[in-house]
Amino acid sequence: MTSTEEHSTEEQYTYQNGDRREEEPSSGSEMEIHQRKRGRGHGFLLFLCGLLIGTLLSGLVFVSPMRRALFFKDGGSGGKEASQELLNEATSQKIQLIANTIHNHYYKPKEISLGDERSGLYKGLVESLGDPYSVYYTGEELKQMMSETEGTYGGIGAMLSLDKESGYTYISGVMEKTPAEEAGIQTGDIIFKINGKSAHGMQTDEVASQIRGKEGTKVHLTLVREGDQGNIEVDLVRKKISSPTVSGKMLENHIGYLKITEFDEVTYDQYLNTFAELKGKGMKGMILDLRNNPGGNLDTVCQIARRILPKGIIVYTKDNRGKRVDYDSDGKHEIQIPLVVLVNGNSASASEILAGAIKDYHLGKLVGTTTFGKGIVQQIIDLNDGTALKLTVSDYYTPSGKNIHGIGIDPDEKVELDVDALKKDGSDNQLNKAVELIEKEMKNQK
């Protein structure tokens, strides 16, 4: 485990503010859909599910919900010179030629919108990066995204998970008394189309963005359900959905169970309240469930980490110039009871930051399966006209210096979820293993 002091010997700190430190860089430095029906290994029960439709972006760590304006101050690799080269006379002429051709020959001329064409240009520029996590937001999309980070949104009340092999998103849970439940949507349903548009290859944040919208508006889903031969067509009316992100309960033998579904603006307060409630009921050991948690806000996960970790680094990031930013814990609220963390292949990004730090500090064992492997950070950048850019701006590293992007974090105790048992009688063998480890640790402390 790498300590704060060990980091300081490698690079000199030039800025310090609270628990975040910036450093100067050193000088050196299409698969068939029916394949999806086979091997759907987890996510069959609501309390195990991750992403609420229209809630925080899947597998995403982004830096603060606050946006910053982007200004270029030099003619370097990202500055004015690059912009001039991109929009030279030949490029501008070709763009206009393509636009004229569309207007003159497209078979539905009344459906052509100049605003949509311009947005398409901007989106295409970002998509040219080949980075599924970098996105251009129109004004309406930005408003929707920002409202979601506050914990409320217009949606259908379903939860999403992505099957990476097939490239399709599926329903991993349905909230009670929501449009999804009323329409008969079931856990395991595959989202084949959204408003007639194929959902193949979409990231879950893009699927969520397509499904969410203003309260009272409609969305049409084409679903594929295992055991049904034909597609299922469903019309839903969006409703205001509030998204509690933390829940908890007491198990036997003074063991508290606390689940975090994502990290958004309301999560920290919800965590404090839930933890205090469990402690008030006599909690002597805690199981922290991060299964199917797609991530969220970096500042939020660091706030929670400071209520768990000892003094030292929580996580650090490095940008394209090698500048490093450390996020630290002061250790004043280090957890004093046995801890076990549940993870799986849908535990991503911010949840991997927390799980990785707990593992590096040997503060608790991880139980489940290898995590998603999302080791990069996005920034929401205000473009000064009501639109914004979500751009991948850095890698992140666990306290011991590991970047887990594309790799994930292996659990200390590998336990595949027994889906058949879970569906049959609700038995959760991963949770049972966590209970076993907690009880053993509590016994050793006596």
Regarding whether 436 and 323 lie in a shared domain, the answer is yes
- Verify that 434 and 287 share a domain, yes or no: yes
The DSSP letter of residue 291 is: T
Together in a domain, 302 and 384: yes
SS (H, E, C) 386-397: CCEEEEEEEEEE
CA distance 18 to 11: 19
Decide: pTM greater than 0.85. Answer: no
Catalytic choice (189, 205, 289, 360): 360
The single residue of 172, 349, 351, 394 carrying the catalytic annotation is: 349
Tokens 């500048």 sit at which residue? 323
Number of independent structural domains in the chain = 2
Q: Which residues pair with 255 in a beta bridge?
A: 285
313 and 289 housed in the same domain: yes
Statement to judge: residues 417 and 430 lie in one domain:
yes
Report residue 42 as tokens.
Answer: 């987890």
Which CATH number covers residue 290?
3.90.226.10
Query: What is the C-alpha to C-alpha distance for residues 440 and 338, in angstroms, rounded to an integer?
Result: 9
What does the pLDDT profile of the chain (446 residues) look like in tens digits? Answer: 333 322 322 222 222 334 555 544 443 332 233 333 333 433 322 222 222 333 333 345 656 444 443 333 333 344 544 545 888 999 999 999 999 999 999 998 878 888 999 999 999 999 999 999 999 999 988 887 776 666 567 899 998 888 878 899 999 888 888 999 999 999 899 999 999 999 999 888 789 889 988 889 999 999 999 888 889 999 999 998 877 899 999 999 999 999 999 998 889 999 999 999 999 999 999 999 999 999 999 999 999 999 999 999 999 999 999 999 999 999 999 999 999 999 999 999 999 999 999 999 999 999 999 999 999 999 999 999 999 999 999 999 999 999 999 999 999 999 999 988 987 888 999 999 999 999 999 998 87
Tokens of 9: 């010997």
Active-site residue, from 374, 394, 428, 433: 374
Asked whether residue 39 is assigned to any structural domain, the reply reads no
Residue 299 annotated among the catalytic residues of the structure: no
- Asked whether residue 10 falls in the same domain as residue 146, the answer is no
Respond yes or no: is residue 374 known to be catalytic. yes
Cα separation, 394 vs 14, in Å, equals 19
Strand-pairing partners, residue 155, are: 239
Last residue of a domain, one of 216, 242, 268: 242
In a domain, 176, yes or no: yes
Q: Could you tell me if residue 135 is inside a domain?
A: no
Q: 147 with 231, same domain? A: yes
Which pLDDT value is given to residue 203?
83
Query: How many other C-beta atoms lie within 10 A of the C-beta of residue 214?
Result: 12
CB 192 within 8 A of CB 168: yes
Q: How many helices (H) and strands (E) does the chain have?
A: 13, 25
Does residue 423 sit in the same domain as residue 373?
A: yes
User: φ, ψ for residue 271 (rounded to 5)?
Assistant: -65, -45
CATH of the domain at 153: 2.30.42.10
Distance CA 157, CA 155 (A): 6
Q: Of 242, 271, 306, at which residue does a domain stop?
A: 242
Range of the domain at 381: 4-29+244-445
Bridge-based pairing of strands 61-62 and 296-297 is parallel
Do 432 and 336 fall within a single domain? yes
Q: Is 349 a catalytic residue?
A: yes
DSSP 8-state secondary structure symbol assigned to residue 112: -
